[in-house]
Chains A and B, each alone.
Chain A
Amino acid sequence: MQIKLWINNKVFEDDIQSDILLIDYLRSKGFYSVKRGCETANCGLCTVHLEGKPVLSCSTLTVKANGLHVTTLEGMKEEVEEFGGFMADQGAEQCGFCSPGFIMNVLAMKKELVNPTELEIKQYLSGNLCRCTGYMSQLRAIKKYLELKKED
Chain B
Amino acid sequence: MFTIKNYVVAENLEQAYELNQKRSNVVLGGIGWLKMGSRNIQTAIDLSKLGLDKIEEDEESFKIGCMCTLRDMEVNESLNSYFNGAIARALVHIVGVQFRNCATIGGSIYSRFGFSDILTCLLALDTYVELFNGGIIPLAAYKDMYYDRDLLVRIIIKKDARKVSYLTHRMSATDIPVLAVAISKLEGKWQFVLGARPQRAILVDQADGILGQNPTQEEIDALVDYVIKEVKFGTNMRGSKEYRQILAKVLINRGIEEIMGGTHAN
Q: In the complex, what residue of chain A is closest to B2 when comparing beta carbons? A: A19
- Whether, in the assembled complex, A98 has its beta carbon less than 8 Å from a beta carbon of chain B, the answer is no
Q: Are B96 and A128 in contact (CB under 8 A)?
A: yes
Could you tell me which residues of chain A, from 5 to 19, have a CB within 8 Å of some CB in chain B?
Answer: 17-19
B4 touches A18 (CB 8 A): yes
The answer, yes or no, to whether A39 is at the interface (CB within 8 Å) is: yes
Chain A residues, CB < 8 A from B92: 123
How many Å lie between the Cα of A17 and that of B1 in the bound state? 14
Quick one: which of B1-22 are within 8 Å of A by CB? Answer: 1-4, 6-7
Instruction: Name the distance in Å between A128's Cβ and chain B's nearest Cβ.
Output: 7
Q: How far is the CB of B49 from chain A (nearest CB, A)?
A: 10
List of A residues within 8 angstroms of B71 by Cβ: 53
- Which residues of chain A are within 8 angstroms of B173 by Cβ–Cβ distance? 126
Interface residue SS majority, chain A? mixed
- Distance of B24 from chain A, by nearest CB (Å): 14
Interface size range on B against A = 20 to 34
- A56 at the binding interface (Cβ < 8 Å): yes
- B96–A126 CB distance below 8 A: yes
Question: Are B32 and A59 in contact, CB atoms less than 8 angstroms apart?
Answer: yes
A18-B4, A123-B92 known; A54-B97 Cβ under 8 A: yes
Give the nearest-CB partner of A46 in chain B: B98
Closest Cβ of chain A to B94, distance in Å, is 9
Contact flags B223-235 to A (C-beta < 8 A → 1, else 0): 0000000000000
B186 at the interface (CB under 8 A from A): no
In the complex, chain A residues whose CB is within 8 Å of the CB of B96: 44, 105, 125-128
Q: Mark interface residues in A24-59 (1 if CB within 8 Å of B CB, else 0).
A: 000000000000000111101001001001111011
CB atoms of A127 and B1 under 8 A apart: no
**With contacts A18-B7, A18-B44 known, is A59 near B35, CB below 8 A?**
yes
- Which residue of A17, A39, A47, A123 contacts B98 across the interface (Cβ within 8 Å)? A47
What per-residue 1/0 map shows which CB atoms of A72-114 lie under 8 Å from chain B?
0000000000000000000000000000000001001100000
Task: Enumerate chain A interface residues (CB-CB to B < 8 A).
Answer: 1, 17-19, 21, 39-42, 44, 47, 50, 53-56, 58-61, 63-64, 105, 108-109, 123-128
Besides the known contacts A55-B102, A59-B99, 16 further A-B residue pairs in the complex with CB atoms under 8 A apart = A19-B3, A41-B32, A41-B99, A42-B95, A50-B101, A53-B71, A54-B97, A54-B101, A55-B101, A56-B99, A59-B35, A60-B102, A63-B7, A64-B46, A108-B97, A127-B96
Binding site for A on B (CB under 8 A): 1-4, 6-7, 28, 30-32, 35-36, 41, 44, 46, 48, 71, 92, 95-99, 101-102, 173-174
A and B contact pairs by CB, cutoff 8 A, 23 listed: A17-B4, A18-B4, A18-B7, A19-B41, A39-B1, A41-B95, A42-B95, A44-B96, A44-B98, A47-B98, A54-B101, A55-B101, A56-B99, A56-B101, A56-B102, A58-B35, A64-B46, A64-B48, A124-B97, A125-B97, A126-B96, A127-B96, A127-B97
